[in-house]
Amino acid sequence: MPDVLKTYLETLRPGVSRSIVGHARAFCSWLGDRDLDRQAVEDWLRYRARRHCKAGTLKFNFGVVKRVFDANGVPWPFRKGEGPTISERDESRLALGEDVITAMIRASARMTERHRAFLAVSTTYGIRRVEIGEIGDEDFEWESRLIFSLPMAPVRNNLLRQLRSPILVDRFLRTWVWIYPGFRWISCPGLYVFSVWILKENLQAL
């Protein structure tokens, strides 16, 4: 079905997350000449799981594929509740161990103001890469020093959190954002990469 991706892309609103588009492209590339049906979705999820995708990523993929079906006018072959689920264990599992988090907190005292700003955004507030990608310049409130992000992670009963979460930011980030007016963070991967680099740099210095 060579026009599946093209049809999907034509339905997207301006400014849609590149992460979403990337997952859709990956699915359509994998799909090839297969039909859009339940078997294709199940095979795709198994394919992704074999590549060690976490439960949250699989659920996100499931949602993206549903939008591909909808855009192409193909009935969605799954009933409510049939998609991938996220257990409470997966939901509450820490990405970093308590000892590592403690070490980072102690290391922060030796960081520059700039480093602390990036470290806070990448760790303290638990913001995910896909959530970073959804942040636009309209989500910044400089007077109150807040960034608002919409958490993408499912919570109990597979519901999505809808409250926007405030993130206290350093004045350095305001300067950085001013350089890139009208940006979307996913278009500036240096922020995410730099955040990870700061983590590694300070952990190695301990």
Q: What is the pLDDT of residues 7-27, one digit of tens each?
A: 998 888 877 777 788 889 999
Give per-residue pLDDT as tens, 135-161: 566 666 656 555 565 554 443 333 333
Is residue 58 within 8 Å of residue 98, measured between CB atoms?
no
> What separation, in Å, do the N-terminal and C-terminal C-alpha atoms of the chain show?
54
- Residue of 193, 134, 198, 190 lying closest to 167 (CA atoms): 134
Give per-residue pLDDT as tens, 21-63: 888 999 999 998 889 999 999 999 988 888 877 777 888 889 9
- Residue of 176, 91, 159 lying closest to 126 (CA atoms): 91
Letter for the amino acid at 93? R
Token reading at 83 = 């998609």
List all residues 6 or more positions away from 75 whose beta carbon is below 8 Å from its beta carbon.
Answer: 69
Letter for the amino acid at 103? A
